[in-house]
Structure 1
């Protein structure tokens, strides 16, 4: 269940106290203000600069920041900023109560700060995140709370800070993309519903008011929970947590959710949740689609379920005039999923890493 109130400590000073001596005079720890346009624009700039340094280009926008700092987002998140003497945010941290035992941590420090100051900002963000891990872990009744953060492969500054702060690099992820052309709109008979080899592929049903069928949504959740049960760092997520989190995504669309069912029994055996990857304000480039989740139940593997779902989102993207479909794959997985993606035209655009630290809850 999604809590009515956040499990986090809202006052950053309760965790970190006085700013470290390495910070210049007048620099303070504070909370961001999503109602302040200057603050919102500054956080967006910090995030975009972080992306540009890490992978070569920026993709984040204001909506991505609002997911973290808006009033709705704060049901499962908390944020902190380090401000200079002019009240400008120079570093930003965000934590997300993702699932029982797993807390995500966003860690962004302004590029170009002097090394000593930048490191002090990083240490402060980590200290705050550890305190939040204790708070959320305690509220969940855990003995240990995992902090899960990330870095772009090759970002030596971030890797050095995380290593020194007690994090361990645990996984590598290929961020892949596949070009889409208009003719691929005919890749499947219909993106609404089609069948192949005894498997039916269809969109999640929606009622007259446009809202999705609850039983279909639960079927998607059940399929994905089962499909990912043995995958790296999989944590059980309730249906309410799952739905709340995916609806927060700025690219969320109900008509980007598909189910795969056995025709002879109507049993759901596969699911794909897609989103829109917008090209950004002012850009003339087409939008793209993104595979947020794809999963197939073990008993149905080898029947072309995953390939059928992927063909469906490719056809859907082509029909919408989009030019690409992106996804993420575990570079260390033994499932061979990367072979399927490569055979269907996906290539790696950049690489990210997962870094973990286990925090005892006292």
Structure 2
């Protein structure tokens, strides 16, 4: 079978979105990829599309998409790889090219090896025997959870004595959320520290509704946690991240932020809210979400290979 292989351009975003939604339907039962998400990925400041992206066409039909990016500036490299089930040979060609580029990128950073991560649905369209044979293995599992919300049932919770909560109102608050994010996630698996400007791109600051970002604090500790949410996904309202400083955990602040977000989305007319969680998270996040009525939508594995 004859294929056309070339790098992606920003103009390819609609075709990539179509492919990802085709794969969504196979893997999770419905399309959940939005065009703006793909566009943000393609505009990544740590991605050179000419060398870090791959498209494979069968005629006019896009059948494989790959993207590589580097947030660590060191040995850790991330890739996305999507392939239609009946195009595994083409998918393998792209995977080989991505591995070679990942090692090259790590060496450009001064590292002697590349530690590469790839996120795949637990029942992916990619034939996992292909990556197992190449030395990849699963190192983590994540759950995408969701919960129905209702304008009447989900009201904003009252604030306990000594606790305050505010929306992210301006630049100073954005800087503070970045600081809280870096501190509260520092011990999490695969956390990559980043400076303020890089973080703004990672969270798509230009497209973010900052009124859906909240900071929680206490009288004795000051600002102690945050929640970042988005209302630009067609499928559901989305909680991107919740973080609470280690010294403030166990006070119910994360649950307060979560209930506040449910109420905000319900007030906007949303009927479903989702988020992703590391199933091995040591802070008790999976249990917190279960207590607040969130249930499994689908699961994703982090696959890893070490190249040298």
Same fold (TM over 0.5): yes
The answer on whether the counterparts of 2:88 and 2:126 sit within 8 Å (CA) in structure 1 is no
Are 2:230 and 1:275 aligned? yes
Correspondent of 2:188 among 220, 231, 234: 231
Counterpart position of 2:5: 29
CA-to-partner distance for each residue in 1:136-176, whole Å, 9 max, x for gaps? 22332222322211111133744222212321111111110
1:248 Cα deviation after fit: 6.3
Helix, strand or coil for the counterpart of 1:255? Answer: helix
Are 2:187 and 1:203 aligned? no
Are 2:20 and 1:47 aligned? yes
Counterpart position of 2:204: 247
The answer on whether the counterparts of 1:185 and 1:317 sit within 8 Å (CA) in structure 2 is no
Helix, strand or coil for the counterpart of 2:213? Answer: strand
1:34 Cα deviation after fit: 3.2
Helix, strand or coil for the counterpart of 2:165? Answer: strand
CA RMSD of aligned residues (A): 2.2
**What count of residue pairs does the alignment treat as equivalent?**
304
Counterpart Cα distance in 1 of 2:220 and 2:257: 19
Counterpart Cα distance in 2 of 1:68 and 1:156: 21
1:273 Cα deviation after fit: 0.9
Q: Which runs of 5+ in 2 are unaligned?
A: none
Q: Which runs of 4+ in 1 moved over 4 A?
A: none
Counterpart position of 1:217: 174
Q: Which runs of 5+ in 1 are unaligned?
A: 1-23, 190-194, 206-211, 280-286
1:179 Cα deviation after fit: 0.9
Are 2:173 and 1:173 aligned? no
Counterpart Cα distance in 2 of 1:196 and 1:136: 49
Counterpart Cα distance in 1 of 2:138 and 2:55: 25
The answer on whether the counterparts of 1:288 and 1:317 sit within 8 Å (CA) in structure 2 is no
The answer on whether the counterparts of 1:175 and 1:351 sit within 8 Å (CA) in structure 2 is yes
Are 2:36 and 1:80 aligned? no
Within 5 A, what are the aligned runs for 1:136-215? 136-155=105-124, 157-184=126-153, 186-188=155-157, 195-205=159-169, 212-213=170-171, 215=172
User: If you compute each CA radius of gyration, which structure gives the higher value, 1 or 2?
Assistant: 1
TM-score (norm 1): 0.77
Counterpart Cα distance in 2 of 1:174 and 1:94: 22
Residues 168, 331 of structure 1: alpha-carbon distance in 2 compared, 3 angstrom cutoff: same
The answer on whether the counterparts of 1:181 and 1:323 sit within 8 Å (CA) in structure 2 is yes
Counterpart Cα distance in 2 of 1:249 and 1:138: 32
1:218 Cα deviation after fit: 2.1
Residues 353, 33 of structure 1: alpha-carbon distance in 2 compared, 3 angstrom cutoff: same
Counterpart position of 2:216: 260
1:177 Cα deviation after fit: 0.5
Residues 228, 75 of structure 1: alpha-carbon distance in 2 compared, 3 angstrom cutoff: closer
Counterpart Cα distance in 1 of 2:278 and 2:161: 28
Counterpart Cα distance in 2 of 1:331 and 1:345: 16
